[in-house]
Amino acid sequence: MDAAGYAMLELQGLTRRFGATLAVDQVSLAVPAGQMLGIIGRSGAGKSTLLRLLNRLIEPTSGRILSEGREVTALRGRALRAWRRDCAMVFQQFNLVQRLDVLGNVLIGRLAHQHGLRRALVLLAGAFTAGERAMALAALERFGLLEVALQRAETLSGGQQQRVALCRALLQQPRLILADEPIASLDPANARVVMEALRQVNREEGITVLVNLHHLDTAREYCDRILAMQAGRVVFDGAPAALDAARVREIYGISEEEFAAEAAARAEAGRAAA
Amino acid sequence: MTTPVLRHDGADPPDAAVARGEAAFRAARARRRRATLLGLALLAACLLASAWMSEVRPATLAEGLPRVGDYFHRILPTLRWPVLLAGSETEGSLASWFYRLDSWAWLLFETANMAALATLLGAGAALLLAFPAARNLGAGTLAMQLARRGLEAMRTVPEIVFALILVWAFGVGPLAGILAIALHTAGALGKLFAEAIENAAMGPWEGVRAAGGSWAQGCRFAILPQVLPNLLSYALLRFEINLRSASVIGFVGGGGIGEELYTVIAQNYYEEISAIVVLILLAVAAIDLLSERLRHRVIGAVGGAA
C-alpha cells in the first residue's frame, strides 16, 4: 500500500465468462507495490485469462480492476494505452516481430511514450532518437544481448527471444510486469536465466511482477507470495512456505510429483510449439 | 454425406477388421469419384451453355481462324537478307522496318514511366486501404466496409472505362492514363495486400498492442515488417501488368505508345504495327527479367533496422 492506502492492483469480483465456461470466477485480491506474485494452476485454470484481463487485452464480464485507486476497467483510448504502457506483458511465445531486428523489437517498448509530431515521424519513418536507441542498447547489454542487437529476432534461441521481450517490456518503463508463462517454452537453463532477470527487475527497480507458472518449485523459489487457481477461482493465497505437499494434494487432488509431471509435459509441448 | 464410422469393438479378428476398413475405404472412394464426375459434368454443361449464349460456334471459329493468320502475314515486314543492315532508305532493311525507332522509343519510355507512376500511386493507395480492409486487425465495421467496398469498386471498373472518364476530365494525355491505371491498381493490389495482412502472425500484433501501441503503430511495427516482402513482390508483378495496360490505354487518349499503335492499326500501316508490337514485347520481357531479380533481392533484404 502506498501513503494514501491504495494498492498497486486491486481486483474486485473480477469475472470473465467464455460461453458457458467461467474462465475467471469472482477473483478479489490486492497486490502491494513491489511484490513478486506467482500464480500457479493446471492448464485451463484461468491464469492466462487473469493476466490478459489486467492488461485489458480482454474485457471482464463483471468486476473491477483498480490501480492506486484509479479504475482501470473504465479506461478508454489514450488512457487505456497509457495503462498498457504501465503494465508491460511478457508472453509464453515472446510475441516478437520475427523479421525485425532485435533492436527494433526492443524499441517497440517506446511507442506508447511518443506523442504528437515525434509519434508521427516514428510511424512514417521509424525515426527513433539516439536517446531511445541508447536505452534499448543499455537494456540489451544488461541481459547479454548487445552482440545480437542487429540480428533478426528469428535467428535467436527461445531463451534469447524471451530476454529480448523482457527488454521491450523494460523500455516501457512499467510499474508492473505481467508475465504469462514466460518460461513454459524454455529449457531449464534458459528458464533460470529469465526468472533471475524477472527477480532482478523486481528487486532493483521495484517493479511489481505477476508471473504465471506451472512449476511449483519455481514459484516457491522466486516469489514472495503464491496464488493458486483452480477452475477460475483463487483456491490458495499465501506465503510460498504455506503451500506444502499436503496443501497441494488438498487443492488439486494430485501429488506434487504428478503436478510437476503435468507441468513438464506442458513445457515439452510449449517448446515444440515455439 | 456421412463418413461411415470405423468402430472398434475389440471382437473382430484382424482380417475381418482389415476387410471392414477396406470396404469403408472403397465406399468413400466411390463417393468421391461420383462427386468428381458430377462436378465435371456440371462444368461441361456450363461451358457449352455459355459458348452457345456468347455465340461461339465451331463453324464461325473455323471460318475466322485463317483470317487471323492472314493478318499476321500482312503485318510481317518484308526483309531482304542482302540489305538487312542497310540504312533506313533501303527497302527491306531492319532500319526501314523500324524507321521511326527514335520517336517510338521515346513513346515506349513514356509508357514505362506511366506504368511506374501508376503502380507507385496505386500501391500507395492500396497500402493505406488494405489495413482497414483486413479482417484480422479489427478496424471498425464502418472503416472496414468502406475500405472493402471502395477497393471492390476500383478493381471492378475496367481501366479503359476509368480512362475514358478521366480523358474527358483532364484532356487527352498521359495524366488521364496514369490515374486510370492507378485506380485499377489500387483496387487489385488492395485486395491482395489485405489477404497478405490476414495471413500475418498475430503474436507480434498482440505484443505491440499490449505495450500500449495504437492501431496505426500495430500496423506499422507488428504487421508491415511481416508482409512487406510480399507486398513488394505483388507490386512488382503489377508493374509488369501495368506496362501492358499502359500500352493500350493510349487507344482512348490516355497517352503513351498506345496512341501511336492505335493510329497505325486504324490506318493499316501493317509493317509499323509489327514493329511497335515487337518493341512492346521486348520492353515487357526486359521488365519481367528485371523485376524478377529485384523481387528475389527484396525478399532477402527487407527487415533491417526499424
CB-based contact, B224 to chain A, within 8 Å: no
DSSP secondary structure string for all residues of B92-155: TSHHHHTTTHHHHHHHHHHHHHHHHHHHHHHHHHHHHHHHHH-GGG---HHHHHHHHHHHHHHH
pTM for the model = 0.82
Which DSSP helix (H) or strand (E) runs through B195? helix B174-198
Interchain proximity A152–B225, CB inside 8 Å: no
- Alpha carbon B13 to its chain's center: 59
Cβ-nearest to A99 among B206, B216, B226 = B226
CB-based contact, A115 to chain B, within 8 Å: no
Cβ-nearest to A111 among B212, B304, B305 = B212
CB-based contact, A85 to chain B, within 8 Å: yes
Q: Considering only alpha carbons, which residue of chain A is nearest residue B226?
A: A99
* Mean pLDDT rounded to a whole number for chain B: 87
CB-based contact, B182 to chain A, within 8 Å: no
Judge whether B159 and B181 are in contact, CB under 8 Å. yes
Question: Of the segments A120-124, A247-251, B247-251, which one has the largest average pLDDT value?
Answer: A120-124
CB-based contact, A111 to chain B, within 8 Å: yes
All residues at 6 or more sequence positions from B139 whose CB lies less than 8 Å from its CB, including other chains: B131, B132, B133, B147, B215
Interchain proximity A123–B207, CB inside 8 Å: no
**Mutant choice from A51, A92, A99 vs B, greatest count of B C-beta within 10 A:** A99
> Can you state the angle between helices B224-249 and B174-198, rounded to 10 degrees?
150
CB-based contact, A33 to chain B, within 8 Å: no
| Residue A247 pLDDT | 83
Please give the Cα distance from B238 to B254 (Å, whole number): 19
Dihedral angle, C-alpha A241, A245, A251, A256, nearest 10 °: 120
Cβ-nearest to A128 among B206, B217, B306 = B306
ipTM: 0.91
**Does the pLDDT of residue A153 top 50, yes or no?**
yes
Contacts of A84 in chain B (CB under 8 A): 209-212
Which DSSP helix (H) or strand (E) runs through B49? helix B14-53
Q: Considering only alpha carbons, which residue of chain B is nearest residue A150?
A: B305
Interchain proximity B211–A84, CB inside 8 Å: yes
| Residue A138 pLDDT | 95
| Residue A2 pLDDT | 53
| DSSP helix/strand/coil, B187 | helix
**Cβ pairs bridging A and B (under 8 Å):** 98
**Does the pLDDT of residue B305 top 50, yes or no?**
no
Residue-wise pLDDT tens digits, B29-63: 999 999 999 999 999 999 999 988 888 888 888 88
Dihedral angle, C-alpha A73, A74, A78, A84, nearest 10 °: -10
Residue B208 to residues A84, A148, A214, A237, B255, Cα–Cα distance (Å): 10, 21, 26, 32, 46
**Alpha carbon of B5: minimum distance to chain A alpha carbons (Å):** 30
Residue A228 to residues A42, A202, A266, B7, Cα–Cα distance (Å): 9, 21, 18, 41
CB-based contact, A112 to chain B, within 8 Å: yes
| Residue A61 pLDDT | 93
**Mutant choice from A93, A97, A129, A172 vs B, greatest count of B C-beta within 10 A:** A97
| Residue B306 pLDDT | 38
Nearest-Å Rg of the Cα atoms of chain A is 19
CB-based contact, A148 to chain B, within 8 Å: no
Contacts of A152 in chain B (CB under 8 A): 303
Interchain proximity B212–A103, CB inside 8 Å: no
**Does the pLDDT of residue A241 top 90, yes or no?**
no
Residue-wise pLDDT tens digits, B13-36: 778 889 999 999 999 999 999 999
Q: Considering only alpha carbons, which residue of chain B is nearest residue A102?
A: B305
CB-based contact, A172 to chain B, within 8 Å: yes
Residue-wise pLDDT tens digits, B137-190: 988 899 999 999 999 999 999 888 999 999 899 988 889 999 999 999 999 999
| Cβ within 8 Å of A, B 225-264 | 225-226, 228
Interchain proximity A152–B208, CB inside 8 Å: no
Interchain proximity A84–B210, CB inside 8 Å: yes
Interchain proximity A111–B211, CB inside 8 Å: yes
Cβ-nearest to A97 among B204, B302, B304 = B204
**Alpha carbon of A102: minimum distance to chain B alpha carbons (Å):** 9
**Mutant choice from B221, B228, B231 vs A, greatest count of A C-beta within 10 A:** B221
